[in-house]
Amino acid sequence: MDNTRKHKFTILFSSILLGIFISVQFKQNIPDIPSVTLRSIQTTKNEIDSIVKETDSLKGLIEEKERQIEEFENMASEDKNIIDILNAELEKNKAISGLEDVQGSGIIITLHDNMAEDAFGQEYDLDVVHDVDILRIINDLRGAGAEAISINDERILAITEIKCGGPIIRANGKSLGAPFHIKAIGDQKLLNAAINAPNTYSYALKNIDQINVKTTIEDDIKIPAYRGRFNFRYAKPLKEGD
């Protein structure tokens, strides 16, 4: 009887120890989870709301920068178009003012003095090409719509002075001698008629004064730009509001 009680006591004691051992093992394996409170939940919610607001703010900033980039690109494109327009206008004005080489169809007029012994008229002056002859021919060409004119490759502008200097003439301050080659770009038919039609100055110069006037029609005439300088001593630009 004593052995039986002793045996039961041993089993009970072993069971208690085993239970304590198992309890200790469970306690060691269970993670330490902090307690969740209403305050911690509210704090986390506030943090999430703050992050959402910051994200929305960044999205708005990105959209604003993208809009500014698009505006800058449009401005750059518009500026390029404006620059192209201004460059085209500049080239046009340079061509009109005679500051640019030009080429096109037109006519070439060659003038020689009359050196024949039996020339019409007894005065030597009638057998020589004078500045007035050049001026009259240039005016006739301009009246026929000539867009560019040169004499011996010297560009003729509205300010070009043409003066007689004995056997030569002076244009843009330079001495030009015979033969005189006058180039004109424009409507070939109109220019040719302005020189060769009856009752024109060149027609009389050729058929009455016996000055050698030769006209050729060309499809590709090159006329150089004006090489001189503009020196306005009296004329000044009129400013807006004056």
pTM of the model: 0.61
CA distances from 233 to 171, 230, 242 (A): 20, 10, 19
Do residues 112 and 217 both lie within one domain? yes
In residues, how long is the chain?
242
Q: Is residue 228 part of a domain?
A: no
Q: What is the pLDDT of residue 140?
A: 92
How many structural domains comprise the chain? 2
Task: Pick the most confident of 63-72, 111-120, 174-183.
Answer: 174-183
Do residues 50 and 134 both lie within one domain? no
Model confidence at 181, in pLDDT bands (50, 70, 90)? very high
The tens digit of pLDDT for each residue in 105-123 reads 999 999 987 766 554 455 5
Model confidence at 148, in pLDDT bands (50, 70, 90)? very high
Do residues 164 and 111 both lie within one domain? yes
- Of 48, 73, 97, the last residue of a domain is 97
Report how far residue 17's alpha carbon sits from residue 124's, in angstroms, rounded to the nearest whole number: 153
Question: Encoding tokens for residue 193?
Answer: 């008629």
Q: What is the pLDDT of residue 120?
A: 47
More confident position, 83 or 219: 219
Domain carrying residue 50 = 40-97
Convert 168-230 into a string of H (helix), E (strand) and C (coil).
EEEECCEEEECCEEEEEECCHHHHHHHHHCCCCHHHHHHHCCCCEEEEEEEEEEEECCCCCCC
Residue 127, class by beta-carbon neighbours within 10 Å (0-12 exposed, 13-18 middle, 19+ buried)?
A: middle
Q: Is residue 154 part of a domain?
A: yes
Residue 219 pLDDT > 80, yes or no? yes
Strands 154-155 and 148-151: antiparallel
Do residues 143 and 178 both lie within one domain? yes
DSSP the chain: -HHHHHHHHHHHHHHHHHHHHHHHHHHHHS--PPPP-HHHHHHHHHHHHHHHHHHHHHHHHHHHHHHHHHHHHHHHHHHHHHHHHHHHHHHHHHHHHT-S-EEEEEEEEEEE----TT-SSS-GGGGS--HHHHHHHHHHHHHTT-SEEEETTEEP-TT--EEEETTEEEETTEEEESSEEEEEES-HHHHHHHHHSTTSHHHHHHHTS--EEEEEEEEEEEEPPP-S----SS-----TT-
Q: Is residue 218 part of a domain?
A: yes
Do residues 155 and 214 both lie within one domain? yes
**Mean predicted confidence (pLDDT) in 63-89:** 74
**Mean predicted confidence (pLDDT) in 37-54:** 76
Do residues 199 and 154 both lie within one domain? yes
Residue percentage of the chain with pLDDT more than 90: 25
Do residues 109 and 204 both lie within one domain? yes
More confident position, 234 or 78: 234
**Mean predicted confidence (pLDDT) in 175-190:** 92
Amino acid identity of residue 70, one-letter, is: E
Q: Out of 75-79, 169-173, 187-191, pick the least confident.
A: 75-79
Do residues 78 and 125 both lie within one domain? no
Question: Which CATH number belongs to the domain containing residue 158 in this structure?
Answer: 3.30.70.1880
More confident position, 7 or 103: 103
Residue 71 pLDDT > 60, yes or no? yes
Q: What is the pLDDT of residue 221?
A: 95
**Mean predicted confidence (pLDDT) in 25-48:** 64
Model confidence at 77, in pLDDT bands (50, 70, 90)? low
Residue 220 pLDDT > 70, yes or no? yes
Do residues 110 and 219 both lie within one domain? yes
Residue percentage of the chain with pLDDT more than 70: 75
- Of 54, 76, 97, the last residue of a domain is 97
Do residues 124 and 177 both lie within one domain? yes
Report how far residue 184's alpha carbon sits from residue 138's, in angstroms, rounded to the nearest whole number: 9
Report how far residue 3's alpha carbon sits from residue 1's, in angstroms, rounded to the nearest whole number: 5
Look-up of token digits 């001189």: 228
**Mean predicted confidence (pLDDT) in 12-25:** 62
